[in-house]
Structure 1
Amino acid sequence: MRKLNCPHFTLGESLTPDQRDFFNRHGVIIFRNFINPETVQLFIREVDRIEKQWLAEGRDKVNGVPLKFGQDEAGDKLIQRMCFLSQYSDALHEFLQDPRLQTVVDLLHPYEGRIGEIEKDGLILNHYVRTPNSKFSQMGWHTDSPRDIFLGQRIMPMLNVGIHLNSTPFESGGLRVIPGTHKQGLFRMLFRKRYFVDNNPDKDEVGFDINAGDLTVHDGRLWHRAQQSPYFGEASRRRVMYVPVVTGKYMPKDENSKTPFYHRFISKVNI
């Protein structure tokens, strides 16, 4: 395992040739300081507010997508995976209208993409924290593409755009990818790893130093995972919001949507 020294790219009104080339080669890119510290704190407050509301309501799913629960270091219940957050926050909804995010969509060229605010799982939050009773301190190897198969359609190009709310140095765990695997064939994409079960390091994987406020983008066909922190409690906390950039048929979800099959599978895997 090694650290990939990413250039300090900044996302502006358009992508630069260097940014396109880096993403095309590796299948992942980091844009530094995408949101400022004040906005990071605003988003954390919004997520905390929504979490308290959902816990008080006893909600266990949103638009058919199950929530994932665990406990913090004090033994209090928390939601470790939330979804469709922008439907419950004006600030988060407005953020998804940021013109710079539309610039990210251009990484799918020549396909026409769109920000999936109410498609797939919408704007999600993965809240990793390592405690004796945490249910979500890591995530095994996977790609994001097989969901299309479960939905009865062919695999379409997509991006996952991550907004990082906590700083995560390479040594503290976090995002790991196998660069270039977004160009692999279908067989390798489906069978190179055991989905979500395999957490073992790969000889070709790389990690990153990520700061609060950074934006990461990875191709949905890229093999990736979340490495468990070596620390416990607050030192292990990582909050990352993801929104999909999708292509193909428009497939919105609402409160009457059924739970997709792949979520029933994932819920049975201790990740």
Structure 2
Amino acid sequence: MQTTLIQGKNMVKFESKTFQLGEKLTQEQKEYFRKYGVIQFKNFINAETIQTFISELDKIEKQWLADGIEKINGIPLKFGKDEHGNKMIQRMCFTNKYSTFLGEFLKDPRLQLLVELLAPYDGRISDNEKDGLVFNHYVNAPNSKFTQMGWHTDSPRDLFLGQKILPMLNVGVHLDNCPSTNGGLRVLPGTQNQSVLKLLFGKKQFIDHTPDEKEVGFEIEAGDLTVHDGRLWHRVEVSPNFGEKSRRRVMYVPIITGKYMPKNENSKTPFYHRFAKVVQK
């Protein structure tokens, strides 16, 4: 599949392609990411690991619900209800701090390789900063609060935190099959190279859910890994299905640059979370 994108006076042809992540990043992979700001690696984890992740996340969710936890390290959890009307946590943060298995996963040498995509900047896996290892659980149900996510870049968060916009990566580990026909990740390839004004105001951050004729979706299978530049315009499309058929579970961890800013149980809630009820992020 090839999609033609128009950026100002330049024409950028996007070539949909997947890769395998081995013991090192290839030059082709680096150049592909540098051009488009996104890359997909197939079969990053196997079926057994997927089930272990899901089991660990289920345990954490049950414990937090039982304990009435609403925030972790100052970051609000996002609650909703599943297709049966049961309360569920649809966005969980710092899960790596509540599971030895998930914590060890972030030490996978293959994840460390991805830091090279930030060159010439020095990057690090954000296990103790930002929101840690995040678990997003999308399900299209009548009382679900988390079915989609509007167009956004990840850069405004830096401004809210009083620092300049810095390069970062969002690394997603997909736990369910998600063909593009079932919603999921949409991006505008190449927009990581846009001006600061377009990065901040090119679309209405989180509020705009309108499909873009230039957007690109992905044919994702459980176990795949996606990486996108935080400056890239991206969104999550709602599934046309309901209940179990709509379920999409993704773990995200950022790879970041800049000053080390760890969080703990005394950390304050970032200002931008005050808008959560408006944008339904």
TM range (shorter): over 0.9
Q: Which runs of 5+ in 2 are unaligned?
A: 4-13
Q: Does 1:107 align with 2:78?
A: no
Give the TM-score normalised by the residue count of structure 1.
0.98
Q: Does 1:12 align with 2:22?
A: yes
| Matching of residues 1-271 of structure 1 within 5 Å | 6-271=16-281
Give the match's secondary structure for 1:24: helix
Report the equivalent of 2:8: none
Q: Is the 8 A contact 1:6 1:29 kept in 2?
A: no
Report the equivalent of 2:9: none
Q: Is the 8 A contact 1:6 1:30 kept in 2?
A: no
Aligned AA (2:123): G
Render the CA deviation track for 1:52-106: whole Å, top value 9, x for unaligned.
0000000001000000000001000000000000000000001000000000111
Query: C-alpha distance in 1, partners of 2:18/2:228?
Result: 16
Give the match's secondary structure for 2:63: helix
Query: C-alpha distance in 1, partners of 2:275/2:101?
Result: 32
Query: C-alpha distance in 1, partners of 2:271/2:221?
Result: 34
Count of residues in correspondence between the two structures: 271
Query: C-alpha distance in 2, partners of 1:266/1:144?
Result: 15
How far did 1:253 drift?
0.3
Aligned AA (2:158): D
Query: C-alpha distance in 1, partners of 2:15/2:108?
Result: 27
Q: Is the 8 A contact 2:18 2:39 kept in 1?
A: no
Aligned AA (2:214): D
Give the match's secondary structure for 1:240: strand
How far did 1:12 drift?
1.2
Query: C-alpha distance in 1, partners of 2:148/2:106?
Result: 26
How far did 1:47 drift?
0.5
Cα RMSD (Å) = 1.3
Query: C-alpha distance in 1, partners of 2:231/2:60?
Result: 31
How far did 1:266 drift?
2.2
Q: Is the 8 A contact 1:5 1:208 kept in 2?
A: no
Q: Is the 8 A contact 1:8 1:31 kept in 2?
A: yes
Hey, which bits of structure 1, 4+ residues long, moved more than 3 A?
2-6
Q: Which runs of 5+ in 1 are unaligned?
A: none
- Bigger shift: residues 13-22 or 84-93: 13-22
Give the match's secondary structure for 1:267: helix
How far did 1:120 drift?
0.5
Percent pairwise identity? 65
